[in-house]
């Protein structure tokens, strides 16, 4: 099983490709649809996901995996093809979000812990039968005065490790996502504070992964980049790239096949530039790629606008962003590339 998991993990971080996070919950997709004045109805959600998954150029050449929401994994294209099959046919790996969200952490004011371990084994078995070959679980770590506490980080690290072990037991590659967020309610911290908290978090997560006997070659890490808070002192992209790579080298074992960054609050181009600069540095023990949601989809959503006649425009915008990030995953992106017609 470990070799099979490693094969899947390597396919998810193949050179020049990355992961599309299309796992927005029904509540989150409503916020996206509100931007374009579109009703949050199942058929609209289905049509939007079909637009993305049938963008052949993007899916065949730049997308190696897609994280789905429960509803989406069960949906099909208008002509009856299951989304999981469409994704697989494009050479990408279908995946599934399995956590139940970050909830208030009892006895830890201002902190959250992600829930969803109860019944997870049975859910993973069903998701595997529906075609999912990887899963995602997100922990949320906020930076504020006196936060995060090591007790709260420990709770999330333990849950991430138990989730990862259950995934591997059921033939599913776990994406382990501990996100130190940049845009929380108190986001005035500097980049060094982000580095320190992320370093502590990743060390605690890998300690728990080891304790829970998780096979590192059969997992993917999905961390934040080392960035200042949204309202903190901003720094050049080169500094973000250097500090992120330094933090990862200090914490992530080389046995992990790949690291797929979340975009977290960054603009589309910022997320692309930072990733490209890291890959251009070279000498990395793991593949560095993307697992973006909004940073891959925002332009497509606006171009589509919920109108059937705009599907091609939406797909073109999505393909452009996927291509830009594919170049970033190879370290070859430049700002001049953004002027290419979407």
- The residues assigned a catalytic role are 177, 222
Q: Where are the alpha helices (DSSP H) in 136-225?
A: 150-169, 191-211
Residue at token pair 């925002």 = 298
Contact between residue 71 and residue 43 where contact means Cβ atoms under 8 Å apart = no
Q: Which residues pair with 138 in a beta bridge?
A: 177
Residues 6+ apart with CB under 8 A from 322: 20, 55, 58, 61, 62, 63, 296
- Asked if 75 and 116 touch (Cβ cutoff 8 Å), the reply is no
SS3 56: helix
Asked if residue 294 lies in contact with residue 245, where contact means CB atoms within 8 angstroms, the answer is no
In angstroms, the CA 143 to CA 270 distance is 21
Beta-bridge mates of residue 65: 19, 93
User: What tokens does 152 get?
Assistant: 């709260």
In sign, the C-alpha dihedral spanning 89, 83, 92, 4 is negative
């Amino acid at each position: 099983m470990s070799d099979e998991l490693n094969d899947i993990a390597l396919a998810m971080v193949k050179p020049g490709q990355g992961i599309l996070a299309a796992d927005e919950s029904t509540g989150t997709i409503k916020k996206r649809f509100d931007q374009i004045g579109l009703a949050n109805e199942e058929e609209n959600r289905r049509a939007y996901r079909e637009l993305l998954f049938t963008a052949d150029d993007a899916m065949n050449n730049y997308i190696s995996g897609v994280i789905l929401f429960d509803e989406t994994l069960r949906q099909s294209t208008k002509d009856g093809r299951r989304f999981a099959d469409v994704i697989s046919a494009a050479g990408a790996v279908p995946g599934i979000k399995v956590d139940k969200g970050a909830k208030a952490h009892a006895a830890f004011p201002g902190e959250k812990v992600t829930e969803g371990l109860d019944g997870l084994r049975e859910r993973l078995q069903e998701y595997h039968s529906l075609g999912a070959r990887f899963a995602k679980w997100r922990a949320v770590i906020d930076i504020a005065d006196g936060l995060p506490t090591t007790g709260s980080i420990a709770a999330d690290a333990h849950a991430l490790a138990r989730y990862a072990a259950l995934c591997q037991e059921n033939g599913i590659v776990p994406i382990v996502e501990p996100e130190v967020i940049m845009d929380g309610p108190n986001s005035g911290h500097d980049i060094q504070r982000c580095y320190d908290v992320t370093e502590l978090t990743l060390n605690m997560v890998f300690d728990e992964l080891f304790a829970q006997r998780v096979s590192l070659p059969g997992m993917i890490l999905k961390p934040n980049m080392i960035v200042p808070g949204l309202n903190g002192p901003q720094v050049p992209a080169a500094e973000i790239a250097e500090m992120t790579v330094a933090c990862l080298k200090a914490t992530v074992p080389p046995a992990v096949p790949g690291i797929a960054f979340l975009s977290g609050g960054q603009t589309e181009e910022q997320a692309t530039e930072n990733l490209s600069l890291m890959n251009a540095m070279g000498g990395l023990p793991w593949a560095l790629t993307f697992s973006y949601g909004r940073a891959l989809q925002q332009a497509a959503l606006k171009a589509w606008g919920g109108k059937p006649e705009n599907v091609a425009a939406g797909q073109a915008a999505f393909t452009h962003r996927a291509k830009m990030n594919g170049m970033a995953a190879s370290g070859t992106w430049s700002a001049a590339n953004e002027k290419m017609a979407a």
